[in-house]
A and B are shown apart, each in its own frame.
Chain A
Amino acid sequence: MMKRAAKITMESMVLLLMAAVLGFGANGLHKRGIDPTRNYFDKVVSTEIAQKAAANMVKEKHAQHPYQEVDVEEVIRLFHDPESISGAVVFVDARADGPFSEGRIPGALQCDHYQLDSYIESVLEAAGAAEKVIVYCNGGQCEDSQFVCRELIDVFDVPYEKVFLFAGGITDWVAREQRVEKDER
Chain B
Amino acid sequence: MMTSSPMIVGLEERLRLPRERSLAGRMLDSGLLALAARVILGVLFVWMGYKKSLDPVAFLKQVRMYHMLPESPAYYINSIAIVLPYVEIVCGAAVLLGLFRRGGAVVCGAMLAMFTPAILLRTLGIQAETGSSFFSIRFDCGCGAGEVTAWIKLLENTGLFLLSAFVVFSRARLLSLEELWRAREKPLIE
Chain A residues packing against B (C-beta within 8 Å): 7-16, 18-20, 22-24, 26-27, 30, 32-41, 96, 114-115
Contacts and interface: CB of A to CB of B under 8 A. Distances in A.
A41 B71 contact: yes
Interface string B73-89: 01100110111111101
13 contacts: A11-B104, A11-B106, A14-B100, A15-B91, A15-B94, A15-B100, A16-B87, A19-B86, A36-B78, A36-B79, A37-B78, A38-B74, A40-B74
Contacts of A33: 56, 82
B91 A19 contact: yes
B64 A41 contact: yes
A22 B94 contact: no
B90 interface: yes
Interface residues of B, number: 31
Contacts of A19: 83, 86-87, 89-91
Interface string B157-169: 0000000000010
A26 B86 contact: yes
B57 A114 contact: yes
B78 A23 contact: no
A37 B82 contact: no
B55 interface: yes
A160 B187 CA distance: 78
Contacts of B57: 32, 34, 96, 114-115
B92 to A, nearest CB: 10
A23 B83 contact: yes
A144 B106 CA distance: 36
Contacts of A96: 55, 57-58
Which of B60, B79, B82 is the most central at the interface, judged by chain A CB atoms within 10 Å of its CB?
B82
Contact of B53 (A14, A16, A26, A35): A26
A43 B104 CA distance: 38
A8 to B, nearest CB: 5
B19 to A, nearest CB: 31
A34 B100 contact: no
A39 B72 CA distance: 7
B103 interface: yes
Contacts of A32: 55-57
B102 interface: yes
Interface in B50-67: 53, 55-58, 60, 64
A18 B82 CA distance: 13
A72 to B, nearest CB: 22
Interface string B99-113: 010111011000000
Contact of B78 (A11, A26, A38): A38
B104 A23 contact: no
Contacts of B64: 41
A13 B106 CA distance: 11
A36 B82 contact: yes
B169 to A, nearest CB: 10
The 3 closest A-B pairs by CB, nearest first: A11-B103, A23-B86, A39-B74
Contacts of B100: 11, 14-15
A122 B57 CA distance: 22
Contacts of A24: 82-83
A23 B168 CA distance: 25
A7 B168 CA distance: 12
A37 B91 CA distance: 26
A35 B56 CA distance: 10
